[in-house]
Structures are given as structure tokens and as C-alpha cells.
Amino acid sequence: MDQTPPVPLGAIYGLFFRIGLFSFGGQLTSWIHREVVLVRGWMTNEEFLSGMALSQILPGVNSTNTAVFVGQRLRGVWGATVAITAMLTGPFFAVILAGIFYKWVVGWDGVQSIMEGVAAVALGMLARMGISAGRGVTKGWAPALAMLVTFVGVGVLRWPMLGVVAVVAPISVLVSYYQVRSDEG
């Protein structure tokens, strides 16, 4: 895996700057997934998804944690620093500009509808990522069940995310551990 030349820090900055700048009204983890896994092949689907699970379990914003995870994986401490700085640069200046032109921005309700449109598209991209990611990782009954129970618990029944993950993840990992072992043995 690691004999490929290291990803340039500039490429990491460029990618996360763009994603940060356009992440209106919803996180664009799906865009990170698209670029990092599908377009550039910097990480495998499972690598990315397990990092995403880690990002959600840990405190902090999911999308910035994902940026830290991807940056760390690609280029260590500098990769992580560059990724999160890039991710926050656009939003930082945008939010202050919005604060300066605040009366104008809040007063014009066309802005609201534009943001709703962007948020809906971001959700659609997320749905598509969930479908393809889900299909990729649920070969067999155990992963499919883990995905379903997580969704029903957290999404439908609105149980606390950490509690559900604390129960489902160890079981799911244990099952796949026995599968990994029997695959090799």
C-alpha cells in the first residue's frame, strides 16, 4: 500500500479548502469520500469508513475530525494540520464576512432558500454515499445486521449514538475477527 509516492501537502490543502468553502448547511463528508476514495484512490473504502466511524465516536465536529484522520493517514502530523486548517480557512473568513454584512444577509430571505437547496443536495450526496458504502461493506448477514441495528437504534428510535455504537461495534468487530481468522487459516 505504502510504496506509492506521498500525497503532496498542497494537494491536501487544495482539496480540503474547497470542501470547507462549499460545505453549506450540512457536512460534506460525502465529498471527502468521493475525492479521497473514488477519484484519487488515496484510501480504500473500508479505511475511510472506519475512520469516519472513529470521527463520529470521538468528540468534535465529524467533518473536521474526518479531515484530521485523512490528513494523518496520508502525511502524519503535517497532513492532519494542513487538512484541518484548510477545512476551516474558508468558513472562518466567510462567517466573519457574514457577520459584517449581517443585516443585509439576514434581511434577504433569498439567501435562506439558496442554503436550503445546497443543504438538500448535500444530503442527497450523503445518501448516495451511504448506499454505495453500505453495499460495499455488507457482504454477509453480520455486517448487514450491524448496519440495520445502528440505523434503527440511532436514526429511527433516536437512542444515544455512543450507547448504540458501544453495543453494536464490539459484536460486529468480534464477528469479523473470526471471519478474518478463518479466511487466513
Partner 1 sequence: MKDENIYLALVVILAPLSIAAIGGATGIYAPLQHETVELRSWLTAREFIDLFAIARLAPGPGSMLAPLIGWKVAGISGALLATVALYLPSSVLCYGAARVWNRHRGKPWHRAIESGLSPVAAGLIFSGILALLRLGETGPLSWFTVALVAGLLMWRPKLHPLLLIGCGALVFFLLHVAGA
Residues 2-21 that bind partner 1 (CB under 8 A): 20-21
- Residues of span 139-168 touching partner 1 by CB under 8 A: 143-144, 146-151, 154-156, 158, 161-162, 165, 168
Residue 60 Rama label (left phi>0; alpha psi -120 to 50; beta): left
CB of 10 or CB of 54, closer to partner 1: 54
Q: Give me the 38-57 binding string for partner 1, x by CB under 8 A, dash otherwise.
A: x------xxx-xxxxxxxxx
- To the nearest whole angstrom, how small is the minimum distance from the Cβ of residue 6 to partner 1? 14
- To the nearest whole angstrom, how small is the minimum distance from the Cβ of residue 8 to partner 1? 19
Torsion angle (degrees, nearest 10) of CA 105, 106, 110, 116: 110
Q: Is 67 in contact with 83 (CB distance < 8 Å)?
A: yes
> By C-alpha distance, which of 63, 68, 91 is closest to 78?
68
Q: Of 9, 134, 163, 182, which lies in the binding site for partner 1, with binding defined by CB under 8 A?
A: 134
The size of the chain, in residues, is 185
DSSP characters over 136-152: HH--SHHHHHHHHHHII
CB of 40 or CB of 94, closer to partner 1: 94
- To the nearest whole angstrom, how small is the minimum distance from the Cβ of residue 38 to partner 1? 7
3-state DSSP of 84-106:
HHHHHHHHHHHHHHHHHCHHHHH
CB of 11 or CB of 136, closer to partner 1: 136
- To the nearest whole angstrom, how small is the minimum distance from the Cβ of residue 60 to partner 1? 3
- To the nearest whole angstrom, how small is the minimum distance from the Cβ of residue 7 to partner 1? 14
- To the nearest whole angstrom, how small is the minimum distance from the Cβ of residue 48 to partner 1? 9
Q: Is 116 in contact with 21 (CB distance < 8 Å)?
A: no
Q: How far apart are CA 29 and CA 53, in angstroms?
A: 12
- Residues of span 59-98 touching partner 1 by CB under 8 A: 59-65, 68-69, 72-73, 76-77, 80, 84, 88, 90-92, 94-98
